[in-house]
């Protein structure tokens, strides 16, 4: 009998170890992240309230997309519970649908389809109470004096009663950073760069908010704490197998074709940092990481190079123009939707730093929009200073047939930025930033 008991205990111990081993990869993936447990929605004739529930207080950033109108909330350092609903239909005049997905390994994205104007929505965090962390999104009449206010809906005639003034602005806009004057570095990287003043005109797109600055009023907090929003009936939680499809639907990358150009390569090392890190090695690492992100979200990706080599069939014997044209040919022959050329900047003064987005001076507005969004995405991820979105005459953005941008991710000549971009963390964040910008561009 004693031997039987020992045998049973041994089997139970081995079973426990097996279960623990199977669970460990998931535990490692979500370690340090806050679980998003669900999204609740309630509507009235004056307002639609969306509450994102989390197991701890969270930070987030917001942005606005057009055609169709959407408000996007990216919750940082978070993971989405499999039990949380991925999509909720909303009945009401202010919001039509809410979608949720794991945007990347550390970000949960909430997309609210809405037609209200910027003065008729408000986003703020709540802590304490039965749910440790919440993000509240209100759409409609959101101000304390807005009971009779006109809601900014398209194609709706305004009532005769004048709108009461708001007592305070809704979510503030981040003031665009004034670009620093810097020499425009040509793609062939001559030793004596020409000095050209940077455009100081801000980008036409709406700036991305990096933090929620607006705090809830006591009335907001009390109402949100007391309000229990019911989930939309009849919808089933999404399974893990539907997560990828949910991400693709939210990011809008599925079905798009993208050409990624890792700058330099082969005999052309590009710029070289203070400790010997080469531009060609960094751009290739970022390009390969970006390829992985984009393909995982449903995009078709073409690479000008995937190894340390020239792109032209002539190899090292090719002229500069032949090499650059070969890169353009990859995008043009595949009829890609966009072209992204990845570079590292350099200057004789090691103090120069920051991220720049370039587009062809006589190109389309879409190219400038793409350059601006990619630049903003990189800055948001790696925290470099903004050097603005600038026009240029670089060969690869001039001779491609689709919206194109050349992004100077950081200065390899700056010791701090060289170290950052030679690290795995810096490479992954830069790639994610470019992917975020592309997703924002496609909307």
Task: Give yes or no for a cis peptide into 68 (omega within 30° of 0).
Answer: yes
**Sequence-distant (≥ 6) Cβ neighbours of residue 47 within 8 angstroms:** 94, 138, 139, 140, 141, 142
Q: Say how many CA atoms lie within 13 Å of 153 toward its Cβ.
A: 18
Q: What gap in Å lies between CA 437 and CA 377, rounded to an integer?
A: 5
Residue 73 β-bridge partners: 62, 110
Residue 276 phi/psi, 5-degree rounding, is: 95, 5
Can you state the angle between helices 424-442 and 365-382, rounded to 10 degrees?
140
Classified as helix, coil or strand, 109 is strand
Residue 131 phi/psi, 5-degree rounding, is: -110, 120
Q: DSSP H helical segments within 210-261, as ranges?
A: 218-226, 243-251
**270: pLDDT strictly greater than 50:** yes
Supply the Cα-derived Rg of the chain in whole angstroms.
Answer: 25
**159: pLDDT strictly greater than 70:** no
The length of the chain is 443
What's the token pair of residue 380? Answer: 């948001």
What's the token pair of residue 247? Answer: 């991400």
What is the CB neighbour count within 10 angstroms for residue 228? 9
Residue that is written with structure tokens 């760069």 in the block? 193
pLDDT tens per residue across span 405-438: 999 999 999 999 999 999 999 999 999 999 989 9
Per-residue pLDDT, averaged over 91-98, amounts to 87
pTM reported for the whole predicted model: 0.53
Strands 78-80 and 34-43, bridge-based pairing = parallel
Residue 9 phi/psi, 5-degree rounding, is: -65, -40
**194: pLDDT strictly greater than 60:** no
Per-residue pLDDT, averaged over 9-32, amounts to 60
Average pLDDT, the chain: 77
pLDDT tens per residue across span 305-344: 999 999 999 999 999 999 999 999 999 999 999 999 999 9
What's the token pair of residue 54? Answer: 């989390």
What DSSP string runs through 37-106? EEEEEEE-SSEEEEEEEESS---EEEEEETTTTEEEEEEESEEE-TTS-SEEE--SSSEEEEEEEEEETT
**164: pLDDT strictly greater than 80:** no
pLDDT tens per residue across span 69-91: 899 999 999 999 888 888 888 87
**170: pLDDT strictly greater than 60:** no
């Amino acid at each position: 009998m004693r031997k039987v008991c020992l045998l049973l205990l041994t089997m139970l111990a081995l079973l426990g170890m097996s279960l623990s081993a199977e669970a460990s990869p998931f535990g490692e993936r979500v370690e340090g992240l806050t679980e998003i447990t669900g999204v609740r929605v309630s509507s009235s004739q004056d307002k639609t309230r969306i509450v994102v529930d989390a197991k701890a207080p969270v930070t987030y950033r917001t942005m606005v997309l057009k055609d169709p109108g959407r408000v996007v909330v990216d919750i940082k350092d978070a993971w989405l519970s499999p039990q949380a609903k991925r999509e909720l239909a909303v009945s009401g005049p202010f919001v039509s649908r809410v979608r949720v997905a794991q945007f990347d390994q550390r970000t949960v994205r909430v997309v609210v389809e809405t037609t209200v104007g910027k003065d008729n929505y408000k986003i703020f965090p709540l802590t304490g109470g039965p749910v440790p962390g919440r993000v509240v999104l209100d759409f409609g009449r959101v101000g304390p004096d807005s009971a009779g206010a006109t809601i900014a809906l398209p194609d709706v005639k305004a009532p005769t009663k004048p709108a009461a003034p708001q007592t305070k602005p809704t979510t503030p806009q981040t003031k665009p950073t004034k670009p620093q004057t810097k020499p425009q570095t040509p793609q062939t990287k001559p030793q004596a760069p020409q000095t050209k003043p940077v455009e100081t005109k801000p980008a036409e797109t709406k700036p991305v908010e990096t933090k929620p600055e607006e705090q809830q009023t006591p009335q907001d907090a009390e109402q949100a704490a007391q309000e229990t929003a019911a989930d939309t009936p009849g919808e089933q939680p999404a399974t893990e197998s539907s997560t990828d499809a949910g991400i693709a639907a939210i990011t809008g990358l599925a079905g798009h074709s993208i050409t990624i150009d890792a700058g330099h390569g082969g005999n052309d090392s590009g710029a070289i940092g203070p400790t010997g890190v080469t531009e060609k090695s960094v751009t290739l690492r970022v390009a390969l990481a970006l390829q992985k992100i984009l393909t995982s979200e449903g995009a078709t990706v073409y690479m000008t190079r995937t190894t340390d080599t020239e792109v032209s069939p002539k190899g090292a014997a090719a002229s500069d123009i032949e090499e650059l044209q070969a890169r353009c040919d990859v995008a043009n022959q595949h009829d890609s939707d966009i072209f992204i050329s990845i570079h590292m900047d350099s200057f004789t003064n090691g103090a120069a730093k920051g991220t720049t987005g370039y587009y062809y001076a006589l190109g389309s507005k879409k190219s400038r929009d793409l350059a601006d969004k990619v630049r903003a995405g990189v800055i948001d991820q790696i925290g470099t200073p903004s050097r603005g979105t600038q026009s240029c005459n670089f060969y690869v953005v001039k001779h491609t047939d689709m919206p194109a941008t050349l992004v100077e991710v950081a200065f390899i000549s700056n010791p701090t930025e060289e170290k950052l971009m030679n690290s795995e963390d810096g490479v992954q964040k830069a790639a994610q930033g470019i992917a975020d910008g592309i997703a924002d561009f496609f909307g």
